[in-house]
Amino acid sequence: MAKAPRASKSSSKSAAGDDAGGLLGASTSAAPTSPRAGATVTQDGVVELPAFKRLGEIVGQRHAVSVLRSSIDTGRVHHAWIFSGPRGVGKFTTARAFAAELLSRAETGVMAPETADEIIGLVASARHSDVHVVSKELASLSREKTVRDSKQTTVAKAVIEEFLLEPAARTRAMSHLTRGLCAKVFIIDEAELMDTGTQNQVLKTLEEPPEGTVIILITSDEAGLLPTVRSRCQRVGFGSLGEREMQEWMHTSGIALDPEQSPWLLRFAGGSPGGATLALKNDLYAWHAALEPLLSAIDRGLGASVAGKLGATMTKLVEERAAQAVAGNPEASKAIANRFWTDRMLSLLGERSRGHLRRATDRASMTRAVLMIELVRQAEVQVDRNVQFAAAFDNLAAQMLTPAPGVAAMMGVGADAKS
């Protein structure tokens, strides 16, 4: 692995509006989408980053942290990385911690403690202009109106051009600081959402990276990355946290729950601090308490009346939360609030089914859980296509009881599949 070359001494103006160098955690006004691993999107469309942690504070990822520390200690850091693993287990948090270490370790000699502290503080507060987070949400900040108006379901080619390729080609912004092990860090979140053309565009940069640049691709689906992209990167695997590690994470995060809620949260999260954070921020336990009796009855096949009540209850819960969100705020959008809470509802149902799949001990239970995951996915697609959320919920509840023949056949189960 080649040592990162020294950056040019020249400086260039850097501002969030120029090259998004300071956009780590920037607010957007786009309609919310499902939150990224480790991050959440508020009903106002603001991307909120998880709390900053140093490498030594990362819980449950000892192997990944060890690999990164070894690379740092050699002083010869590879220019391209893939952080892969389940959603919400700390990949994004670790990427930020890695960026802070790279920028605050002197390329030669020892960096002054006060300078290192300044650099780490800038990264921690999302104000370091040489740390760039590239995500699908950046489409809302594009200079191109067509990109701003897009649905943000992929990391668009235009986003890569504007927020990675162009700033990567510029000189480092914070030239007044001592040079670290690299000059710039780019974190591409949900990298699997780049299409083939966009990945090939990134591939050229991975093959011939700008001076002193480190690029980190974060993905929960490494198979979604081209083999040529994977072959250019150092790969670091992340795993789900065990129950003891999750409890440690809750303790260090200051999370104290009553005895009834804590076991549910651990089951819901499935070893994902990001999943647990999502549930806590949105009080999904209250929804769980309201829906679980109906969902359990559906699982047991207890009649169409229960399915109708389930759909109506999901709609009511979403409408109540959306109404609370816009109350007293004339500028708030009810449509955006409805979409935000619809996404939270589908997230709750999806995680419930994934939990059932993790705990399944027989083929029938496993098949049922996989079917439920697919039905939730189809409901998400319907909402993305602007189907009214109430209709999507009614359809989802009905199919949970009696899947459509086409869906059942696709999943290899009978149309009356029950657990």
pLDDT band at 232 (very low <50, low <70, confident <90, very high): very high
24 in Cβ contact with 133 (< 8 Å): yes
Three-class DSSP category at 214: strand
Q: What region, left, alpha or beta, does residue 130 occupy, with left being phi > 0 and alpha being psi -120 to 50 degrees?
A: alpha
Is residue 65's pLDDT more than 70?
A: yes
Decide if pLDDT at 172 tops 90: no
Distance set, CA 301 to CA 114, 234, 405, 416 (Å): 64, 48, 17, 9
Q: What is the CATH number of domain 16-237?
A: 3.40.50.300
- Residue 58 near residue 93, CB atoms below 8 Å: yes
Mark out the alpha helices in 212-303 (DSSP H runs).
227-231, 243-252, 261-269, 273-281, 284-299
pLDDT of residue 403: 86
122 band by pLDDT with thresholds 50, 70 and 90: very high
Q: Enumerate the domain spans of the chain.
A: 16-237, 282-411
202-211 per-position pLDDT tens digit: 999 999 988 8
Average pLDDT over residues 43-56: 71
Report the chain's mean pLDDT, rounded to a whole number. 83
Contact assessment for residue 178 and residue 63, using Cβ atoms and an 8 Å cutoff: no
pLDDT at 417: 47
| Span 35-56, average pLDDT | 60
Q: Give, rounded to a whole angstrom, the gap between the first and last alpha carbons of the chain.
A: 52
| For residue 8, pLDDT beyond 70 | no
How far is residue 260 CA from its own chain's centroid?
28
CA 153 to chain centre: 13
Q: Which two tokens stand for residue 334?
A: 């009810």
Q: What is the mean pLDDT of residues 316-341?
A: 88
Question: Residue 14 pLDDT > 60, yes or no?
Answer: no
pLDDT of residue 197: 94
With beta carbons less than 8 A apart as the criterion, state whether 184 and 177 touch.
no
**Count of other CB atoms within 10 angstroms of residue 416:** 10
Rounded CA separation 19/282 (Å): 33
**Per-residue b or e along 89-101, where b marks 16 or more CB atoms closer than 10 Å to that residue's CB:** bbbbbbbbbbbbb
- Whether the CB-CB separation of 188 and 199 falls below 8 Å is answered with no
Mean pLDDT of all residues in 94-111: 90
Burial class (CB in 10 A: 0-12, 13-18, 19+), 363: exposed
Instruction: Give the integer Cα–Cα distance in Å for 37 and 205.
Output: 25
User: Which pTM does this prediction carry?
Assistant: 0.74
- Residue 23 amino acid letter: L
Q: Is residue 332 a contact partner of residue 325, using CB atoms and an 8 Å limit?
A: yes
Q: Is 241 exposed, middle or buried (0-12, 13-18, 19+ CB in 10 A)?
A: buried
Supply the pLDDT for residue 267: 85
**Cβ atoms of residues 238 and 89 within 8 Å:** yes
> Under a CB-based contact definition with an 8 Å cutoff, are residues 376 and 342 in contact?
no
3-class secondary-structure state, position 186: strand
CB 79 within 8 A of CB 214: yes
Angstrom CA distances, 149 to 48, 142, 152, 153, 226, stand at: 21, 9, 8, 12, 28
